Structure 1
């Protein structure tokens, strides 16, 4: 991704900027799972005639995105299509604000910093006409109100999760919480609840924040749950527009279920499609590189994949947040070795315990069939013809990357929206299977090996899953095609946001 300092943006691009009417300021947390869908959305908005976009990420994430630009918190950069300006939470070390006092301080810092970003853009001749934010950052709404700007929410999880949260906060919360907190795991697999417009859902399929025992819930879960409650209150009170990171062919029922309650636009898949998957050369802009906050060894990784047989590789990655325990690392290693197929396993070095390091070294030294990497370009890996399946935690970005690449999934969900994403993969789309963890929350070697055999063994179920995966890949290509559903949805949103801006300007 070629980048340049953008200190004289308004002077160098003055004539171009004068012809643009809409300027979207997209605000995101500085973590991998928020930055990439936000960046993809900003790029797509900037490609619409009459639009430009700026992505504002917390300072800690901005520094990791652009390490060559030094440690300045205020530096603006550009990739030739959109600009990037960081905001500060007053601490800027990437840590979560757990206690209420710290959250209040950071919220105030976020408000001041984001207000300064809006003022800065206006002073440079690029006034913001609409603000957007990824999920739980209600302070963005406060900044928008302060500056008289329209604001929209970018929901970076499935529409099914959006609908589930909505109904939890509107009449179904007590029922869901009661079954979740009072039932054993085996009972949760049997109890089903039907929410308006959705298929019946098991308690074990629900987002974990809704079913965890409140007395034992972690501080992080409590904080995120409260932020979600505040978000849905804000959506209802202010009638906010919601952009959803999905597409109609993927979640038609859920989108229909939520639209009577809120103004929702399907603007996904929020991942750039691999270049090889695009139908037209004119769509090459879709293949923009993803942002990576961790060191990767792309050359060795891709050369290793090139040497493997088609659809033979098991790709294993549990995302950018999960850390392995010693036992979990050992179980995965022995499960992969027991299955016998070549594997590519992502184990981040950051925060890795010493005993997990020992397990990784064992894998590197003892097994010529496997390759362990600290990080990789996941979309390039998933689009490689040698990859046969994806063992995933089912974060929504990873799930969508598998969908657009047509790769069957072995779903190993952990928390938040992941159980519901796994439900979608297995039950609604039929493009994967779910693995069960043991009583300690560990994916065992036997469970891993048996599920991999089902996915890659060539049996009837495997053939059906692969066909479903290929079909969804084609639907994703149709969604992002020129003049297709995604482009029409974004154009409708742009028109509405500009009308809202004009209406607010007249007040």
Structure 2
């Protein structure tokens, strides 16, 4: 009897660091722990940035675990720059080009003797149709929290009118099936846009979400649709259960050590690892405040000024990531280490390595899901400064559900800035010796332990991933 062919997973992801990170983490975990072959594909421009220091890797690269092959989105030379064309025009060009180039990629893989067993689409609704036309099974990989997924599901299944009716009432409470009561200010920001914003970037994202859930509804007619989710079963039991009768949600959260033990591929930004890691080695355990707003979110100039006030007043050493594209707002903040060794400012860093370092005592974060998940998995308490998208809901989970951090309160004048005195209060609360701080740190370690259990052999994430591969392979 002939042996079954090796399963081959093709990951397709947007050219954003916040999408590449979780997709690459899962891809590497899948390749390292199962018998599957994995191909990872993002746009040509992002692919070049990922391998900018690697010679002759413009079109193809293999790091021993994964094969990397790019696809064209029509913006190969400089990448897409928001504002260079209107949103609808961009979506039309992007959709047309990616449909064509991914189809060619799948056919080329088949012709080379490596047919795709399953396409893993990271928020690419139309990729499911492409895969179906080519006879390739596909699955969505949801890279935000299960609670956020459930919120979108219920929005599109009976709660859209209610939420839109109260979109301008931040304190209005919405009770969605199976979820904790949520105020409008806690919801993903795309859900509270007005009709006037339908042609905006927010409107564009909301319609993509609608497309994805319509595809899932369509699949229900023949079988229960399956969605991989970047979370741990033990972290979001209620949210997962709230949609379980309609959708097979598969929590495949994992820890990210595999990312930096195999290859440096993945970063679209440059970083000087040794300098800040050596600086952390000089600090006491749990003493350093780490600040980062991720790969897309910006800190307003006023917010940066208030942050400086708070950090100086707190008198704690800090490591601050200020991206190159946020430097204009940063004003006088210089790079590198200051004269007394109390601060380190960098343009980018290996966040998981930083969060895993014993010197880190607190993470001041915008609460993007990647940052939230990594902080939880490393047992680091958080001070949350959410801005948009899913960040307010993640902050709600950190503060009200998991109890491993605190959500800061913005100033009442409507500019969305957290004042220096509020940040000092939050830092003292999370890092101080009071009863609240001790409890926050205890819970941070509790959720870390649950994550470790989930990814260990026989844990929930381990079993879920193995079962998924087995189903796809048969």
Which of the five TM-score ranges fits, normalised by the shorter chain? over 0.9
Tell me, what secondary structure is at the counterpart of 1:25?
Answer: strand
Tell me, what secondary structure is at the counterpart of 2:167?
Answer: helix
Report the count of equivalent residues: 461
Query: Which of residues 433, 443, 448 is equivalent to 1:468?
Result: 443
Contact 1:20 1:51 in 2 (8 A): no
Provide the C-alpha distance between the structure 2 equivalents of 1:386 and 1:49, rounded to a whole number of angstroms. Answer: 34
Task: Please name the residue that 2:408 is paired with.
Answer: 435
Cα displacement string for residues 222-268 of structure 1 (whole angstroms, at most 9, x for unaligned residues): 11111111111111112432001111111011111111111211111
Work out whether 1:233 is the aligned partner of 2:214.
yes
Per the TM alignment, residue 149 of structure 1 is displaced from its structure 2 partner at its CA by 0.9
Per the TM alignment, residue 329 of structure 1 is displaced from its structure 2 partner at its CA by 1.6
Residues 23 and 62 (structure 1 numbering): CA distance in 2 closer, same or farther, change over 3 Å?
Answer: same
Provide the C-alpha distance between the structure 2 equivalents of 1:217 and 1:333, rounded to a whole number of angstroms. Answer: 37
Work out whether 1:488 is the aligned partner of 2:463.
yes
Contact 2:186 2:392 in 1 (8 A): yes
Give the TM-score of the pair, scaled to structure 1. Answer: 0.86
Per the TM alignment, residue 117 of structure 1 is displaced from its structure 2 partner at its CA by 0.8
Provide the C-alpha distance between the structure 1 equivalents of 2:262 and 2:440, rounded to a whole number of angstroms. Answer: 28
Task: Please name the residue that 1:103 is paired with.
Answer: 91
Provide the C-alpha distance between the structure 1 equivalents of 2:366 and 2:181, rounded to a whole number of angstroms. Answer: 23
Work out whether 1:224 is the aligned partner of 2:211.
no
Query: Which of residues 15, 32, 40 is equivalent to 1:30?
Result: 15
What does 1:48-63 correspond to in 2, within 5 Å?
Answer: 48-63=33-48
Provide the C-alpha distance between the structure 2 equivalents of 1:484 and 1:334, rounded to a whole number of angstroms. Answer: 44
Identify which range, 360-369 or 118-127, moves more after superposition.
360-369
Per the TM alignment, residue 218 of structure 1 is displaced from its structure 2 partner at its CA by 7.7
Provide the C-alpha distance between the structure 2 equivalents of 1:436 and 1:216, rounded to a whole number of angstroms. Answer: 26
Cα displacement string for residues 319-347 of structure 1 (whole angstroms, at most 9, x for unaligned residues): 01122332222111111101111111110
Residues 312 and 365 (structure 1 numbering): CA distance in 2 closer, same or farther, change over 3 Å?
Answer: closer
Cα displacement string for residues 142-166 of structure 1 (whole angstroms, at most 9, x for unaligned residues): 2202211111000000000000000
Per the TM alignment, residue 402 of structure 1 is displaced from its structure 2 partner at its CA by 0.4
Contact 1:118 1:128 in 2 (8 A): yes
Provide the C-alpha distance between the structure 2 equivalents of 1:300 and 1:365, rounded to a whole number of angstroms. Answer: 13
Query: Which of residues 51, 71, 84 is equivalent to 1:87?
Result: 71
Task: Please name the residue that 2:145 is paired with.
Answer: 158
Task: Please name the residue that 2:116 is paired with.
Answer: 128
Query: Which of residues 261, 268, 273 is equivalent to 1:298?
Result: 273
Task: Please name the residue that 1:10 is paired with.
Answer: none
Give the TM-score of the pair, scaled to structure 2. Answer: 0.92
Task: Please name the residue that 2:389 is paired with.
Answer: 416
Per the TM alignment, residue 216 of structure 1 is displaced from its structure 2 partner at its CA by 4.8
Query: Which of residues 301, 316, 320 is equivalent to 1:345?
Result: 320
Per the TM alignment, residue 102 of structure 1 is displaced from its structure 2 partner at its CA by 3.0
Cα displacement string for residues 34-68 of structure 1 (whole angstroms, at most 9, x for unaligned residues): 11111111122223444111111111211110013
Residues 40 and 349 (structure 1 numbering): CA distance in 2 closer, same or farther, change over 3 Å?
Answer: same
Task: Please name the residue that 1:149 is paired with.
Answer: 136
Tell me, what secondary structure is at the counterpart of 1:250?
Answer: coil
Tell me, what secondary structure is at the counterpart of 2:294?
Answer: coil
Task: Please name the residue that 1:315 is paired with.
Answer: 290
Gaps of 5+ in 2: none
Provide the C-alpha distance between the structure 1 equivalents of 2:301 and 2:335, rounded to a whole number of angstroms. Answer: 12
Work out whether 1:369 is the aligned partner of 2:350.
no
Query: Which of residues 382, 391, 406 is equivalent to 2:355?
Result: 382
Task: Please name the residue that 1:119 is paired with.
Answer: 107
Per the TM alignment, residue 359 of structure 1 is displaced from its structure 2 partner at its CA by 2.3
Task: Please name the residue that 1:401 is paired with.
Answer: 374
Tell me, what secondary structure is at the counterpart of 1:389?
Answer: strand
Contact 1:272 1:287 in 2 (8 A): no
